[in-house]
Structure formats: C-alpha cells, structure tokens
Structure 1
Amino acid sequence: MERLSSEVLGSIIGDIYDCVLNPEGWAGVMTRITTAMDAAYTTIALASTADNHGRFAAQSPWNPVQMRVLQDYDFDAIPGLKTAVIGDVDTPVATLSLMSEAELGQTAFFQNWAEPQGLREACITKFVHTSDRIGLMGCTTWADRGIISAEDQHFLALLSPHLRRASLIGDLLDQARVTASLYRQALDNLAVPVVLAGANGAILHANGAAERMLSAQGPILSRNGLLQAQNPAVARALLEAIASAANADASLGARGIGLPVSAPGRPPAVAYVLPLTEGTARAAFRPACAAVFISTTTSASPLPEAVLTTLFDLTPAEARVLLRIGSGLSASKSALSLGIGENTLKTHLNRIFAKTGTRRQADLVKLVSDIGTPLAAH
C-alpha cells in the first residue's frame, strides 16, 4: 500500500471520526499521520483564541523533554507558524516553501532546537478558525528526508476538514462524553441537540433537546420526516452533507461543517454533520448514516468566509469577494478593500455567479441577507 494512497487517507479519516466518541484515539491518529508523511512526529491542538487555553492537544510519540522545550518558543520565533495562523484554513504551510534552506539554517530556532534534534522542516495546517477557537496540526520531518512535497501538502489538506469536524463536534461533547456501553442512552441525555438521519435526510431519531427544537419549528425543522433548515441554500447543503456522509468518510470533505441553520434575525445556531460508518465505534448508531449536532453557543458560529466556502464550494478569495459585494459595496470599492484589481475581482465574480446560481450583484446581496447570521454581523 502506497504511503499516501486513497486507502490510507480513508482509513485515517475513519480513525479521526472515531475520536469524537473516544478522544484517547487522537494520539494513535497522530502516529498514523506521522507514518504516512514519513515524518519525525505530528502534533494537533485546538485552543482558545482569547487566552491560548488548550481545549485539547495530542501528539505522536517523540522526545517529551524536547516537546516541553518547544513550548518555550514564542509565536514569531517558529518559522512558518505565523504564516499558517493568519492564512486560510485547510492550506498547509511548509517551512521550505517560505524560505530557502540557507535562510532556515540562519534562524535561532533551527540552530538551537531543530538541528540538534536531527530535524529539517515542518508543515503546519490550520484546520479550525472560529471567533473563539484556532486549531493547528503540525508535521515535522527528519533531516535526512526530502523536502515536504506538493503531494504531502495535498494529503494534509484533504485531512484538514475532517479534523475540523471531529474536533468541533468533540468539543460539544466535552461536558457529557459518550461511552462505548451507553451510546444511545448518553445521546438522549446530552444537552446538545442531536438528530440521527438516514442517507436522504430522514429523521430516524432525535434526542430530547433536538425534539424540542423540532417542536418549536426552529432552528431545525422536520418536513415530511426530512431534516431541514430555514434557508433553502443551507437546507440543500445540509442534505448534501448527510448524503455524502452516507457514502464514505473521505467524500464528505468540508461539507456540513458549521452550517448556519438559524433564520435571519434569530439567535445563531450551527449544524455539524458526523458520518456514522459501519465497522467503526460510530456504528452503534446505525442504521442512521449521519449524526447532526446543533450548537447554539454564539461563539461557536463559524467565520463568514467559512460559511460561504462550505455552502457554495467557494475558494477563500471568492468568499471574501462575495462578502464585500453581498454587503452592498460596489465592485470598485470591493476591489480596493481587498487590495486586488478590478479585473481580478470580475474573474472572481463570474465564478461566484456560476457557483451560487446567480446573475447579478443584487442577487448576491439578497443571498447574503437571506443566510443571515453569522453573515449579517460581518
């Protein structure tokens, strides 16, 4: 089996989703990623943006003393870290794609820490960025390994949205951890609303919190027994995510992560879709194909750009353009605020029209308005 084959990718993704129910599995996932990447070690962390307080962290086995020393380096001292943090989600940043080997060798971090440990470079991927959370995965390679390739980075980019989904859903369950022997009982006792759905979105089971939402006709709805959202575009994206979850873990990608299911003018509510695959710990919930978790925590709302990339498969650059145009800015003012030329903006706009099924800028203003929170707050 090839190191970065689709079979390896799919298997690791399955293990990632099992960590929602069993967080002790994260260390094993990091070990598997390390092996696939032919790396020295891999780390993952989800932290609060307010105080850098860790919500969870895991790593593959490595030198524990040096890992503690690594924590002493500040944000700007680690090559590539700042670029990854301020960059786009799901976009791996390899150290040697930012600077030459000679330039890296001149940094104090490399001379004092990486080189003495026989290490070469790192690749950092931001997999979560919400108003109160940031998640980073880092892979660090040995000195005798080749530079991190485009294929390596593509592999990590494909893993990133699955890490995001699993970590955010797992975060919802921190106060009421589901255990192997009490899956369904624990589900019904969760304060977080959870709906178990079939491949077509049919509601097979809703816990008490979800039942109350359905009875109140919002923010989630039941129409002819199918799970629905208030906004048609969101409702379509939700059903597509559930259908993808039913097919295979790997095909789900960024669909169904942080979908805004609240109606305009109503308190924010966000949906996360977790695939329930046969032959895994999650299979305890079968015959349901997906578990839909609803978060009503205001701070859990995804960033506006993330909502648009999820709903319409936009690139981050296209999402930024849509937010400007959708807020009512003219094309010239939007281009100026984004620091791009008007021709570039027109190119983005044409792609946005095609992906959203719209034709005019006025249609985009209505589209953003109809989605409501969290876009309305932008």
Structure 2
Amino acid sequence: MNDPRELALGLYDDVLQGKPLDGALGRIATALGAQTGFITRLPMQHGRPAAAMDFTRHRIRAEPMEDYSAHWMHLDPRVGVVDWGREGVYNFARLLPRHRFEESAFWREWGRQMEPCFHTVNVIVAEKDDVVAALALHRPPDAEPFDDQDEAFLTALYPHLRQALLAQSRLAGIERQADLREAGLDAVPQGVAVFDAAGGMRHANRVLEKMAAQRDGLALGPEGLLPSDATALANARYALRLALAVAEGRIRLLPDGMHFAIPRPSGRSPFLVQTVPRRDGANGRAAGAVMVVTDTAARRLPSALTLQRVLGLTPAEADLAAALAGGRTLAQQALKRQVSRETLKTHLATIRRKTGCRRQSDLVALVLRLGD
C-alpha cells in the first residue's frame, strides 16, 4: 500500500495546478484495492444529502452517477446510517449489515445492475454545518470488505484529503461567482471594462468586444480602452488614474475628467465613456475601476414625452436633454431653436437641478439609460 504522504503531496499538487482530482482519486483507489470511486459535493437538507453534484469519478460512468443523484440516493440505505454532520472515515461493513444492503430496494432494483459499488468506505468533509465533499470508494460483492488497515490508511490520509477537498470547493465557488459576474456584465446593454487596483483590465464584456470589433475609433488592449484619437486616449488614461485614486482614498470627491467621448472616424456619434471607482464591499479596500461605454449611434433614445413623464421636465427641457444625449451640442441646438446659448445654459442648469445630475455627462448617461 502506498505511503499516505505521497498521495497527500499528489493531492496538493493537483489542487495548486488547478487540475481535477481524477488522478488523485485513482491513485487512492488503487492504493486501497478499490475498483470504483467518486468525489462529490453534497448539498444538505434536514441533515441528509439532498443531491450529489460536481462528480469526480474513477471507473464509473457519468450516466449512473446522475441517475443516482436524481432518483436513487434517497433510497440508498448507506445514506441513512451516516452522521453527515460528523467528519471522518465511515466503513459501511461496520455500519450496515450485508444482508440489509442486499435486500434493499436500492440494491435489488438498481445498484447491482449498474456499477459494482457494494463494499463501501466513505470519507466525509464538512464545514460550517454543511457537507462540502464526500469521497466514496467501492469494491464488488465478491471482494473482501474494507478492513482495519484500510481505515487506518484513510485516517492517516484524512487531514490532507480534507484540506485538498475544501480548497478545491472554495476555488470552485470563486470561479462560479466570477462566471456569474461575467454573465451579468454580458447582459448589460453598455460596454463594460473592469480594471484591477493596478490598472490592468481584468474583463471586457461581450458588448464592449463587439464595439471594438467595429474598428471605428476604439480598440482593446491589456491596459484597457485604446481610442485611435490621441486626445481620447489621453483622456482614457487620465480618467482611469483618477478613478483608481478615488478607489484608494487619495481623492475624496469624484473629480472632473472621469467622463469623456471617443470620436469615430466613420462620422457616427461618438462613444461616451463613464469611469467609476470600484471598492471591495467586504473590506472597503480599493478594488480598481469600471468604465462603462455607450454607443450612442446604436442606442434608441427615449422620446421627449418619456423624459417629461419620468424626469418631470417641461417640453422644451425634455427636447434639449434628448438632443444632448443624441450627441448634439448647445451651439447646434441654439442655432436650430433660434435662441442664445445663454438661454439654453439656463435650461440645462434647471434640468440638472431636477435630475440631480452635477454634470452634463451625467445627464447624458441618465437619458441613455432610459432608452431601449
């Protein structure tokens, strides 16, 4: 039988390299003369496993495991004799008489027709009153049951196996959270770039990748947004530095310069970019920054009537807000309406007061969010 320390080193090596534990499971099974085995996470309900998930398998096909979890687990007599809240090694040769298992509906109707998982030893790993993982190893009916030597071997391996299974479970949880965050960002209609505290771009959602694929004044690189316009590129870098400074607490108030436009060689309306600091909600430390990019040419602007109803604007104010969100300037609107720019500046100040927007760029972002 192998040295438990050698198997422990293999477990840690697989976890550190991000490998699945199939290889480690196979080595443990071979050391114990087990024919089959699996590792699974077990969500609990009323103190018993409600399902099995995220299987790591050794010589067991996926289909029986899925069928077991969905339809047969609750009939398995082995489930009922384990104290699932207590960690350790469980040898079912001691806990469940052989005749009782052979006579069970589980074995007669399903188990013996599938994999020969008869003699069984389980290793239970729990944390915070919830089972995180379980290792199960099996021998066929005509083999010898697991004995004291096998239990002692698993008991010696247990501390290392526990650490490896908990580490893998936590890493999987982090990956699932990251997947959910990325899926959520992909559902946002604007382009989104997420930066870490050092200013490196960690994620660009699909909308932003599609904007860059247009090759119309905007590209993406490891350092983030790369406008083809030199001024816009300088503005992007400056806005990111400001946001990181706010996130780190070096600047107390949100400064000007965190919003900018990216001109487009095609002549279409520019990309509008809003930059915001990002902090870790758990400890309040700086986490980086986020840039939200709006393609005004692709967005359908809300009607002036919608702006009147939602923002409480007058018809003239709503018309001006919609025009600014559409990329037109105060000078263009003054010429169109045959009024002075000062008059429109007064209207704009009233609009900002009604909407709570400190800057024109904030107002534009608000109006665009009301669009389809």
TM-score by length of 1: 0.41
TM-score by length of 2: 0.41
Flag the structure with larger Rg: 2
